[in-house]
Amino acid sequence: MPMIQSLQSELHDNAETPPWTAAQVQALFEAPFNDLLFQAQSVHREHFDPNQVQLSALLSIKTGGCPEDCGYCPQSAHHAADLEAGKLMDTADIIAAAREAKAAGATRFCMGAAWRSPRDSDLSRVMEAVAAVKALGLETCATLGMLTAGQARRLKASGLDYYNHNLDTSADYYREIITTRSYQDRLDTLEQVRGSGMQLCCGGIIGMGESRVDRATLIATLANLPEPPQSVPVNMLVPVPGTPLQDAAAVEPFELVRTIAAARITMPASHVRLSAGRSGMPDELQALCFFAGANSIFYGDRLLTTGNASVDHDRELFARLGLRPERASGAGSG
């Protein structure tokens, strides 16, 4: 493990942690697998109970018809995916789904809407839902597209704990996936969220044809934000028919584990979420991801538009691995 220890020493000798370079993160990816996992597990144990996993539920509160052209997303109006666009859900239906998620064991409830950015009238309805979900004792999260500073402040005032806005991939590869908004647009929204005082949920997707350098650069970008995201979702692409990435080649499974480990080492105090793609992962791969530092999952039979591992299966897997759901620890916890 000399290479990883040397990197850790280099980065943490000073009182202030210097930035991670993409080359340093790439060196983590290229370390011997056992050394990488040992270091990731060691870092994980310094900051978290290694046998606890945070459970988040995810609900699409407004599906389809999005004007963005994200190549992975069936909700884009630019693509021919078999998905019918819908209107914003009624608040009562959102609350009912949140109650169900809490009863199943989730501690955080995430609401996603397929917008480029929310209109103020729609934002008011989302704020109403946020306040009601918060009153159930759940942490709240939303992903609604780009935000202005004023919109971020309004969401914070309504009780929203987390805002999700993923960078998706590296800045260099970004234009291969999305052309309707820039990388800087995404960074600007992250700044608005931080400025409002909300917690940040921000990660990316692997398996979109990007290189290992792109994956390392994404991790370095996240780690070098003014404050690393409190939650870092690592998604495995789920190819959807009708989208430009429907035929994307699958990433080698160990590369997912390496990505999780690199995120854990570079962002030691963040929750690292094993997100999309779990329904197609064998239990052994998920177990390796948990060992590499993943300590959060999306919990429930469905994500925004794609399937997810079933609640019963997750409970069985947790029992086999000796994992426990993390207890709710109050709004704004990591």
- The question of whether 73 is a catalytic residue gets the answer yes
- The question of whether 289 is a catalytic residue gets the answer no
Given the residues 181, 258, 264, 273, the one annotated as active site = 273
Q: Which of 211, 205, 256, 219 is nearest to 72 (CA)?
A: 205
Residue 157 vs residues 45, 92, 130, 198, 229: alpha-carbon distances, Å: 34, 21, 10, 10, 20
- The question of whether 201 is a catalytic residue gets the answer yes
Dihedral, 254, 169, 290, 197 alpha carbons, nearest 10: 170
Given the residues 66, 125, 181, 202, the one annotated as active site = 66
Given the residues 108, 110, 215, 264, the one annotated as active site = 110
Given the residues 108, 125, 141, 278, the one annotated as active site = 141
Q: Where are the beta strands (DSSP E) in the chain?
A: 52-62, 108-113, 139-143, 162-164, 199-201, 204-206, 231-236, 271-274, 296-298, 324-325
- The question of whether 273 is a catalytic residue gets the answer yes
Q: Which of 181, 254, 270 is nearest to 215 (CA)?
A: 254
- The question of whether 202 is a catalytic residue gets the answer no
Q: How far apart are CA 209 and CA 237, in angstroms?
A: 10
Given the residues 108, 125, 186, 201, the one annotated as active site = 201
Given the residues 73, 186, 278, 289, the one annotated as active site = 73
Cβ burial 258-276 (10 Å sphere, 16+ → b, else e): bbbbbbbbbbbebbbbbbb
Give the active site residues.
66, 70, 73, 110, 141, 201, 273
